[in-house]
Amino acid sequence: VLLAVMAGMYAVYHGPEGLQGIARRTHRYAAILAAGLTAGGVELTQGAFFDTLTARVPGKADAVVAAAREAGVNLYRVDADHVSMSCDETTGRAQLTAVWGAFGVTADIEALDAATEDTLPSALLRSDAYMTHPVFHAHRSETSMLRYLRKLADRDYALDRGMIPLGSCTMKLNATTEMESVTWPEFGQMHPFAPVDQAQGYVTLITELEERLAEVTGYDKVSIQPNAGSQGELAGLLAVRAYHRANGDEQRTVCLIPSSAHGTNAASAVMAGMKVVVVKTADDGEVDVADLRAKIEQYRDELSVLMITYPSTHGVFEEHVADICAEVHDAGGQVYVDGANLNALVGLAKPGHFGGDVSHLNLHKTFCIPHGGGGPGVGPVGVRAHLAPYLPNHPLQPTAGPETGVGPISAAPWGSAGILPISWSYVRLMGGEGLKRATQVAVLAANYIAKRLEPHFPVLYTGPAGLVAHECIVDLRPLSKATGVTVDDIAKRLIDYGFHAPTMSFPVAGTLMIEPTESEDLAELDRFCDTMIAIRAEIEKVAGGEWPADDNPLRNAPHTAAALGGEWNHAYTRDEAVFPAGVSAADKYWPPVRRIDGAFGDRNLVCSCPPLDEYDN
Ligand SMILES: *Cc1c(COP(=O)(O)O)cnc(C)c1O
């Protein structure tokens, strides 16, 4: 979503005229470049063009590319006889002169500018209006743009406001120190296909990060190419498939997945051409070992891989994980350990050592890259040596993966390399001891919350010692049944108290999954627990009949500032609505919208844009 926001704001700032101006200027430079080359006797083969030209230079492509590079411009060598080049809004006169020089052409740019027409084919020019929404016309000064961004940010509940206890998401601090370098031109302006000898800093950073991630996970080799955890899953499963094929085991296509797994696991397995067989969950939330054994036996000859999440999606360290891995290996299968929950393991245990053959990690969870709304992400895949030949590679960049690899999993050779400095900085700043301590504090924080909440809300799953891993699931189903107060009511009420809701109804319907991470200090953990306990007391008032079941602060949460205006016809006061225990008026977070019936809202989209007929001019 960060990348979508950046692109969207680019459009908001420039508007339709601005974007057209940028495009016209880009084309103008390409047209003048073309005119100079043609006048200098260079043959162009691309026909009509916008920003990209292709020149035919029989036998001389390498020499031209080398000469241009000498002058500070990268051209694209199509083959021994052809060179291609693009202009964009950053192209300037000096670059045109440099490119002409590389082709052995001298041209007078002023004269060409005066003599050259734009060559955009008129039949392709757009004539309809576009970007007609007022927001694309309102902000043309930096001040106005700044205020618009601020206004949007104020409506958001982000980590700079308070805890986002979303279980399975690891919403930890994205430190400014870690993030800052992403804006440096040395990182931000590197082209993904720049010649490797110009990207040695990046190569060093990528190599160091891959090596450190290999050390953290206990695997032999790591590829940072996948752009998401789910893409890492696909890459890992493709490696497993290629490995079985190389051993003549074409028929090994069954992927065993516990029913508690993250939804991406099954989707990735299907994309990798596998057949998904679901393994049951036992009453204690762990993988049902008897069912797993039966399935291993049933599919012994077709078993490709078991995908397990560790610690499990129920937030518990399963004690028999090593035995499970051994049994799968005995049957000729591989073990995929979904490592998205690595925040509970870093520095304490290594999936590559307790039985995993392959894992993905989520750098946008455990390693501090910001995320939300679906990215941006990096989902490195780590493998043991026997799978290393089947990691992703890239046809245009031989150094980006093994020659025997399965091909590219994302368009760029090193995926979302631009955000790797964040994770690299995190690992460097923390050091080995720091990373381990972060894990310990994250696990401690989750257990602190579990213990403080336990008397008020039962914790659904714990390990044998009564402890959870880095997150805990509180079970609201008995309460909901007894009082009618639902998981939605509690999640929305948390907003009135100034919290983002935890994960709702995943992986168990009617529950909340809470993950505090190591980033929240004791004061914030206590603020959260005190709030949950205060909400529990509110539920009591509903149960006791003090507040009606259909008109109470929980059912009507969250309360906006607008909701306070006008007449107040509720069974509770305005103060009870927006300033419940512990909420100060000065620090109040005001939600911008009231509750939308989730399922109804999803199916009945309402457009808050101006009506369509206003676009008509
Ligand atoms: C987040 C998560 C994933 C998927 O990662 P994406 O980057 O969202 O694709 C997979 N498995 C588990 C256990 C996760 O928590």
- What spacing in Å lies between the alpha carbon of 379 and ligand 1's midpoint? 9
Which protein residue has the closest C-alpha to ligand 1 atom 6? 229
- pLDDT exceeding 70 applies to what percent of the chain? 98
What is the average pLDDT value for the chain, to the nearest integer?
94
Q: Are residues 256 and 325 in the same domain?
A: yes
Please state the atom number of ligand 1 nearest to the C-alpha of residue 375: 7
In the listed set 102, 124, 146, which residue is the last one of a domain according to the structure? 124
H/E run at residue 204:
helix 200-217
> Domain for residue 179, yes or no?
no
- Region 338-367: what's the mean pLDDT? 96
Q: Are residues 490 and 384 in the same domain?
A: no
Model confidence at 617, pLDDT cuts 50, 70, 90, reads very low
- What spacing in Å lies between the alpha carbon of 166 and ligand 1's midpoint? 13
Q: Are residues 284 and 392 in the same domain?
A: yes
> Domain for residue 80, yes or no?
yes
- Region 176-189: what's the mean pLDDT? 93
Which protein residue has the closest C-alpha to ligand 1 atom 4? 229
pLDDT tens digits along 487-545: 999 999 999 999 999 999 989 999 999 999 999 999 999 999 999 999 999 999 999 99
- Region 53-69: what's the mean pLDDT? 98
pLDDT top residue among 602 and 120:
120
Q: Are residues 247 and 388 in the same domain?
A: yes
- The domain spanning residue 510 has which CATH number? 3.90.1150
pLDDT tens digits along 541-554: 999 999 999 999 99
Angle of the 522-543 helix axis to the 487-496 helix axis, nearest 10: 130
- What spacing in Å lies between the alpha carbon of 380 and ligand 1's midpoint? 12
Quote the CA–CA distance of 527 and 463 in Å, as a whole number.
26
Q: Are residues 109 and 207 in the same domain?
A: no
Tell me which of 318, 338, 361, 410 to substitute to probe ligand 1's pocket, judged by most ligand atoms within 8 Å of the beta carbon: 338
pLDDT at 324 over 50: yes
Please state the atom number of ligand 1 nearest to the C-alpha of residue 309: 13
- What spacing in Å lies between the alpha carbon of 108 and ligand 1's midpoint? 56
> Domain for residue 174, yes or no?
no
> Domain for residue 116, yes or no?
yes
Range of the domain at 10: 2-124
Question: Which backbone phi and psi does 252 adopt, to 5 degrees?
Answer: -80, 90
pLDDT top residue among 602 and 341:
341
- Region 157-172: what's the mean pLDDT? 93
- What spacing in Å lies between the alpha carbon of 264 and ligand 1's midpoint? 7
Which protein residue has the closest C-alpha to ligand 1 atom 5? 229
- What spacing in Å lies between the alpha carbon of 46 and ligand 1's midpoint? 43
- What spacing in Å lies between the alpha carbon of 366 and ligand 1's midpoint? 11
pLDDT at 375 over 60: no
Please state the atom number of ligand 1 nearest to the C-alpha of residue 230: 9
Please state the atom number of ligand 1 nearest to the C-alpha of residue 233: 10
- The domain spanning residue 53 has which CATH number? 3.90.1150.10
Q: Are residues 264 and 393 in the same domain?
A: yes
Quote the CA–CA distance of 432 and 412 in Å, as a whole number.
30
With a threshold of 0.75, does the pTM exceed it? yes
pLDDT at 614 over 80: no
Q: How many CA atoms lie within 13 A of 173 on its CB side?
A: 11
HEC-encoded secondary structure of 130-182: CCCCCHHHHCCCHHHHHHHHHHHHHHCCCCCCCCCCECCCCCCCCCHHHHHHH
- The domain spanning residue 397 has which CATH number? 3.40.640.10
Please state the atom number of ligand 1 nearest to the C-alpha of residue 365: 1
pLDDT top residue among 613 and 169:
169
**The pLDDT of residue 285:** 79
pLDDT tens digits along 91-107: 999 999 999 999 999 99
- What spacing in Å lies between the alpha carbon of 231 and ligand 1's midpoint? 9
Which protein residue has the closest C-alpha to ligand 1 atom 8? 229
Tell me which of 224, 231, 264 to substitute to probe ligand 1's pocket, judged by most ligand atoms within 8 Å of the beta carbon: 264
**The pLDDT of residue 374:** 55
Q: Are residues 403 and 500 in the same domain?
A: no
At 294, list the tokens: 């039966």
> Domain for residue 140, yes or no?
no
Q: Are residues 503 and 416 in the same domain?
A: no
- Region 320-331: what's the mean pLDDT? 94
> Domain for residue 435, yes or no?
no
Q: Are residues 485 and 365 in the same domain?
A: no
Please state the atom number of ligand 1 nearest to the C-alpha of residue 374: 8
- What spacing in Å lies between the alpha carbon of 229 and ligand 1's midpoint? 5
Pocket lined around ligand 1, Cβ cut-off 6 Å: 168, 228-230, 262, 264, 309, 313, 338, 340-341, 362, 377, 379
- pLDDT exceeding 90 applies to what percent of the chain? 88
Q: Are residues 414 and 290 in the same domain?
A: yes
Cα-based distances in Å from 31 to 18, 25, 38, 331: 20, 10, 10, 64
Tell me which of 1, 166, 224, 230 to substitute to probe ligand 1's pocket, judged by most ligand atoms within 8 Å of the beta carbon: 230
Please state the atom number of ligand 1 nearest to the C-alpha of residue 379: 7
Quote the CA–CA distance of 476 and 502 in Å, as a whole number.
13
> Domain for residue 484, yes or no?
yes
In the listed set 106, 124, 142, which residue is the last one of a domain according to the structure? 124
- What spacing in Å lies between the alpha carbon of 263 and ligand 1's midpoint? 8
Q: Are residues 409 and 486 in the same domain?
A: no
Please state the atom number of ligand 1 nearest to the C-alpha of residue 364: 7
Q: Is 229 left (phi over 0), alpha (psi -120 to 50) or beta?
A: alpha
- Region 310-325: what's the mean pLDDT? 89
- Region 35-44: what's the mean pLDDT? 98
Please state the atom number of ligand 1 nearest to the C-alpha of residue 231: 9
The string of DSSP letters for 212-273 reads: HHHHHHT-SEEE---SSHHHHHHHHHHHHHHHHHHTT-TT--EEEEETTS-HHHHHHHHHTT
Please state the atom number of ligand 1 nearest to the C-alpha of residue 377: 7
**The pLDDT of residue 612:** 66
pLDDT at 601 over 90: no
At 140, list the tokens: 């043309």
**The pLDDT of residue 93:** 96
- What spacing in Å lies between the alpha carbon of 90 and ligand 1's midpoint? 37
> Domain for residue 576, yes or no?
yes
SS3 353: helix
The rounded Cα 343 to chain-centroid distance in angstroms is 16
Number of separate domains in the chain: 3
Q: Are residues 311 and 218 in the same domain?
A: yes
